[in-house]
Amino acid sequence: MVKTGRAAVMTEARKPLEIREYPLPRVDKGCILVKITCCTICGSDLHTWTGRRKSPTPIILGHEIIGKIVELGEGVALDSGNRPLKVGDRITWTIMDNCGKCYYCREKGLMMKCTSLKKYGHDSCAEAPHFVGGFAEYCYITPGTCVIKLPDELTDEEVAPANCALATVVAAWDAIGLQPFDNVLIQGAGALGFYAAALARHCGCERIIVTDIIESRLEFVRRFGATDTINTKGMKDEEIVGAVKGLTGGFGVDCAIELAGLPALIPLGLRCLRTGGRYMETGSAWAGANFTFDASELIFRCLTLKGVHNYDTKHLQQAVDFLRMTHDRFPFRELVGEEVNLDRINEGLRIAESGKTIRVAVKP
Ligand SMILES: [Zn+2]
Ligand SMILES: [Zn+2]
């Protein structure tokens, strides 16, 4: 008899996910079948569920996934760090499966822009192997995915968001060239903002200024290394720019990052930069996120404006290493405030949408 597994499937935006049973796939060469132990709900899952972002259906959402190996396909012996893999090992893996052979993979070092890209939690689950997302009992990992064996000292809840939120921030800081002694501005005290602050602190940054409009989150982000917080509720843009300059000797920050998902913050963040400063856009990842900025200011003030989408394998490994090194120092565990099983997935999505907690964990 063919074994089956359960999955929470989205058939249409805004409709409750429904539980379906799919047959477990035969594990082909180079593939891994994983029993999922934890998948945290990411902001982009909510974008898809609310219809803000288009996606194929039916779909199993969820991409911040941790699981234990159930079966290893022929030829799979090591993870991406050359650590031996065996049945029962706890692993995470890159959000994407890339071919390693195309123009972007081979020549441009942009594996996340592979021309045959597959993304967990982003593709249709209609066809076998079905288990291609995180809100399910199993996940089928294909050969173009980079797998990382997890250190025992990290809990599932601590490490699940590494797969998307943390690795993305690692990639963003890498792309914008974060350096020790930099003064930085982080716009948005959500999951990515907490990680951005902790990484900046770990890197040896001087002023780590975080802006948001929710006071409790600003208090919380101080525990992740923020040195200064500004509650921008009711503040005019020039007042915010003035406050940031006031904290940086009148010059502005070396580096700023938008993680709130509000394109209106981009011109404001650019104005908070010192001359020669660098700006990283990471938060407003949906079409139509327009902003207006005077291009002459980019020129006269020698500013850099960059975008980053997802990350490279090395960033996921660095994310896991960072958690291992600093999990006693920063309260990563407290980012996950609620836990639901597959049957309560719709409740989990509503809690995540309410913003009551930073992350909701789905434990099938
Ligand atoms: Zn490729
Ligand atoms: Zn995500």
Q: What is the CATH number of the domain that holds 318?
A: 3.90.180.10
Domains contained in the chain, number? 2
Measured from the alpha carbon of residue 359, the closest ligand is 2
Q: Are residues 327 and 302 in the same domain?
A: no
CB distance 360 to 340 below 8 Å? yes
Ligand 1 centroid–CA 102 distance in Å is 4
Q: Are residues 172 and 146 in the same domain?
A: no
Ligand 1 centroid–CA 178 distance in Å is 28
Amino acid 94 reads: T
CB distance 262 to 286 below 8 Å? no
Q: Are residues 211 and 158 in the same domain?
A: no
Query: Per-residue pLDDT for 219 more than 90?
Result: yes
Q: Are residues 296 and 176 in the same domain?
A: yes
Q: Are residues 195 and 110 in the same domain?
A: no
Note residues around ion ligand 2 (Cβ under 5 angstroms).
Answer: 42, 44, 164
Lowest-confidence segment of 32-41, 51-60, 134-143, 195-204 by average pLDDT: 51-60
Instruction: Round to whole Å and give the CA distance between 239 and 262.
Output: 18
Q: Are residues 212 and 325 in the same domain?
A: no
Query: Per-residue pLDDT for 234 more than 90?
Result: yes
Query: Per-residue pLDDT for 53 more than 90?
Result: no
> Where in the sequence is the domain holding 39, given as residue range(s)?
4-164+311-362
Q: Are residues 125 and 214 in the same domain?
A: no
Q: Are residues 116 and 257 in the same domain?
A: no
Last residue of a domain, one of 307, 322, 352: 307
Ligand 1 centroid–CA 285 distance in Å is 22
Look up the ipTM and state it: 0.96
Q: Are residues 291 and 203 in the same domain?
A: yes
- Split at pLDDT 50, 70, 90, the class of 325 is very high
Place of tokens 């997935």: 345
Q: Are residues 11 and 159 in the same domain?
A: yes
Ligand 1 centroid–CA 103 distance in Å is 7
Query: Per-residue pLDDT for 156 more than 80?
Result: yes
Token pair recorded at residue 249: 């000797």
Ligand 2 centroid–CA 294 distance in Å is 31
**Torsion angle, alpha carbons of 242, 243, 246, 248, to 10:** -110
Instruction: Round to whole Å and give the CA distance between 360 and 345.
Output: 10
Query: Per-residue pLDDT for 295 more than 90?
Result: yes
**Which is nearest to 224 in space by CA: 235, 212, 239?**
212
Q: Are residues 132 and 269 in the same domain?
A: no
Q: Are residues 324 and 302 in the same domain?
A: no
Query: What does R_g of the chain's alpha carbons equal in angstroms?
Result: 21
Ligand 1 centroid–CA 266 distance in Å is 31
Ligand 2 centroid–CA 164 distance in Å is 5
Last residue of a domain, one of 307, 323, 347: 307
CB distance 170 to 315 below 8 Å? yes
Ligand 2 centroid–CA 64 distance in Å is 7
Calculate the average pLDDT of the chain.
96
CB distance 53 to 6 below 8 Å? no
The percent of residues above 70 in pLDDT, for the chain, comes to 100
CATH, residue 235: 3.40.50.720
Ligand 2 centroid–CA 275 distance in Å is 33
Last residue of a domain, one of 307, 330, 346: 307
Per-residue pLDDT tens digits for 237-287: 999 999 999 999 999 999 999 999 999 999 999 999 999 999 999 999 888
